[in-house]
A and B are shown apart, each in its own frame.
Chain A
Amino acid sequence: MTTRIDRRMAKLKSEGRPALVTYIMGGDPDYDTALSIMKGLPIAGSDIIELGMPFSDPMADGPAIQAAGLRALKGGQTLARTLKMASEFRASDDETPIVLMGYYNPIYIYGVDRFLADAKASGIDGLIVVDLPPEMDEELCIPALNAGVNFIRLATPTTDDKRLPKVLENTSGFVYYVSMTGITGSALADTAKVSAAVRRIKGHTALPVCVGFGVKTAEQARVIGASADGVVVGTAIVNAIANVLGPKGEKTADPAEAVATLVSGLAQGVRSARLAATE
């Protein structure tokens, strides 16, 4: 079974550069705007899209993504509408992988089987569910793998060599290395430590390793991209949207344009990563 993620990662590997993985919150600040932002991501240079499923209680997220989730929920976003966003995106782009990211409860309430069927039909390639560690694999991970949807696991600095095999066991698509212990949007950890961690994980798996949590600038993307197979940027993009919203949520500039400008810069960062590394 290969998914769009496998194909995209293989292609980038042959090009000799890391992937730029971009996160946006589904429905932030509203459905139509979020869809136009999403459509602009591949054009600006994003290789993989993480589409956030808003949740009322995002326990692993910092203030920026918490606020984005609240904006989306206030705008009427639901899991069903996030899936609809993906399928509308798919109508014009059948190549860019989409990974849904969020928390388990909305999926559990939607119904796991129904969710997987609808996600598959909407062109979803992978899932990142923050509160489902390997100990809870029977809940969603195994059914997702059976349905042909990648289940992408987070590995963290607390995931030691003893635990890594358990974390990697049912992981597919790529491994998401969380650069530090903490919530999304914190300061980036020491890049030398991150590189060492990426090497450690690669010692246990042939899967690509993408690094996220704390990457905000093109320069950071370049440095991280020198050792990782992909660089995930989330909070910086979400902030770019928040920055063009007024106090009542009114748009003071075009959010899609703000995101595209940021992502273009980040894309240049990852594209120069290996070049810089070999200099």
Chain B
Amino acid sequence: MNKPAMPNSFRTGPDEQGMFGIFGGRFVAETLMPLILDLEEQWNKAKTDPEFKAELQNLSTHYAGRPSKLYFAEGLTKHLREVSSAKGLGGGAKVYFKREDLNHTGSHKINNCLGQILLAKRMGKKRIIAETGAGQHGVAAATVAARFGYPCVVYMGATDVARQSPNVFRMKLLGAEVRPVTAGHGTLKDAMNEALRDWVTNVEDTYYLIGTAAGPHPYPELVRDFQSVIGTEARAQMLEQEGRLPDVIIAAVGGGSNAIGLFHPFLDDSQVRIIGIEAGGRGLDGVEHCASMNAGKPGVLHGNRTYLLQNADGQILDGHSISAGLDYPGVGPEHSWLRDSGRVEYVPILDDEALEAFQLTTRVEGIIPALESAHAIAHAMKIAPSMDKDQIVIVNLSGRGDKDVHTVAKMLGMEI
């Protein structure tokens, strides 16, 4: 639907109104509008300010530990080549992991939080609020708030508080207040509603540190730009290590910040196939999934127009995923545009497939991936065996999976 004309470049969005085609925009209450316009102005100044860039660069290097490694996943590659041989194909692409799990705080979320906390500082805000699903963003937000001396309130769905208890404790240690949200299914969508209610109430002194590339303009753009360091590094590292670009890049998409961060620098490399992975949950036939771009339709929520899981009356559905970070009925607006333009494919991976990838990666690589990232790995496991041995796949290993061990144990019927 809504097939736009093929643009000369896929990297020029959004337009001045914050639109990526029909997606994006600024669908917010009037109370927030002046603040969002101010944020846009500050962001436009900051992104061309050498001082801002230098400060972010310095923190990225010395605090977050960038650049993150581009790692040849030899154990997984070997395993997938055996799978390929068993099928009589004799192939098996080389699989690389972009190791965002090695960043400070254990995921890609720190990239965005460092950028935004510097913006909050420039805007003279006194208080930070954030929403979180898996808790990865909440931890990253609490971390930068601690580092820069801001009080921080993190809204987290009550269901997620229960299934991500290690991250809840981490946030509390970092001095943040975690407010459980019981509305709806108690997941990321509900946390975002509550964060918006806080923001609209405390608009004068509060900076809303959104964790994903969604929300009203300019958030999708600025979060993408802070996360694009992932793809920029990966592209250069691949050229250095293999002397060429990858054939396929894959990332999991909840709101879609790690994915847009990896994808954006590759969008105009037409030879690179780009695949985003949605949470297929228990299958797309029912309602227990979060595959908004495969099973939803465009609508307006949380400040932007994007693909949403919703009923015929425009009421938003709750969705389901084994992974708290993917448990969101919408997606960042740029992904919706990339979907409709055909530049990026979006495919679902089921809970069980992600669980299998989680276990396999742990066993053959000695890396425990986040359940979110395990969705992306699961797709690499599907396609790599039927690719040639000289082909290359990059998977964004967006976070580490220590936080998920309780969930996985429960799924496997084990007590820990």
Contact = CB atoms under 8 A, between A and B. Distances in A.
Nearest to A70: B183
B393 to A, nearest CB: 37
Interface string A98-120: 00000111111110000000000
A133 B18 CA distance: 14
B200 A183 contact: yes
A66 B202 CA distance: 19
A136 B30 contact: no
A55 B26 CA distance: 18
Given A56-B315, A135-B17, A183 B299 contact: no
B30 A159 contact: yes
Shortest 8 CB-CB distances between A and B: which pairs?
A109-B314, A106-B314, A182-B201, A56-B315, A156-B31, A78-B313, A131-B27, A105-B314
Interface stretch (B152-160, B279-287, B300-308, B400-408): B300-308
Contacts of B300: 103-105, 108, 131
Which of B26, B184, B300 has the most chain A CB atoms closer than 10 A to its own CB? B300
Nearest to A61: B197
B197 A60 contact: yes
Interface string A121-143: 00000000011111110000000
B31 A158 contact: yes
Contacts of B200: 59-60, 181-183
Contacts of A163: 33-34
A109 B310 contact: yes
B196 interface: yes
A108 B314 contact: yes
A154 B29 contact: yes
A35 interface: no
B203 interface: yes
B30 A181 contact: no
A73 B184 CA distance: 13
Contacts of B25: 135-136
A181 B202 contact: yes
Interface of B: 17, 25-35, 183-184, 189, 193, 196-197, 200-204, 297, 299-303, 305, 308, 310, 312-316
A159 B27 CA distance: 16
Contact of A135 (B26, B202, B310): B26
A213 B310 CA distance: 29
Nearest to A58: B193
A130 B28 CA distance: 7
Interface of A: 55-62, 66, 73, 78-80, 103-110, 130-136, 153-160, 163, 167, 178, 181-183, 186
A109 B202 contact: no
Contacts of A131: 27-29, 300, 303
B301 A158 contact: no
Given A105-B299, A106-B315, A158 B27 contact: no
A59 B155 CA distance: 14
A181 B202 CA distance: 7
Contact of B201 (A79, A132, A167, A183): A183
Contacts of B305: 108
A132 B27 contact: yes
Contacts of B29: 59-60, 130-131, 133, 154, 156
Contacts of B31: 60, 154, 156-158, 178, 181-182
A153 B310 CA distance: 27
Given A57-B189, A57-B316, A109-B314, A160 B34 contact: yes
Contacts of A106: 313-315
24 contacts: A57-B184, A57-B316, A58-B193, A60-B29, A60-B31, A79-B313, A105-B310, A106-B314, A108-B299, A110-B314, A130-B29, A131-B29, A133-B29, A154-B30, A156-B30, A158-B30, A158-B31, A159-B30, A181-B31, A181-B200, A181-B201, A181-B203, A183-B197, A183-B200
Nearest to A104: B300
Contact of B196 (A59, A109, A157): A59
A103 B310 CA distance: 14
A132 to B, nearest CB: 7
A242 to B, nearest CB: 16
Contact of A109 (B17, B32, B183, B313): B313
A106 B310 CA distance: 10
Which of A61, A104, A110, A134 has the most chain B CB atoms closer than 10 A to its own CB? A104
A125 to B, nearest CB: 21
Contacts of B28: 131, 133
A104 B299 CA distance: 9
B3 to A, nearest CB: 20
A70 to B, nearest CB: 9
Contacts of B303: 131
Contact of A158 (B26, B34, B299, B316): B34
Given A105-B301, A182-B200, A136 B27 contact: yes
B259 to A, nearest CB: 23
B314 to A, nearest CB: 3
Contacts of B297: 109
A163 B299 CA distance: 27
B266 to A, nearest CB: 31
Contact of B316 (A56, A62, A79, A134): A56
Given A73-B315, A110-B313, 7 more contacts: A60-B200, A103-B300, A131-B27, A135-B25, A182-B200, A182-B201, A183-B201
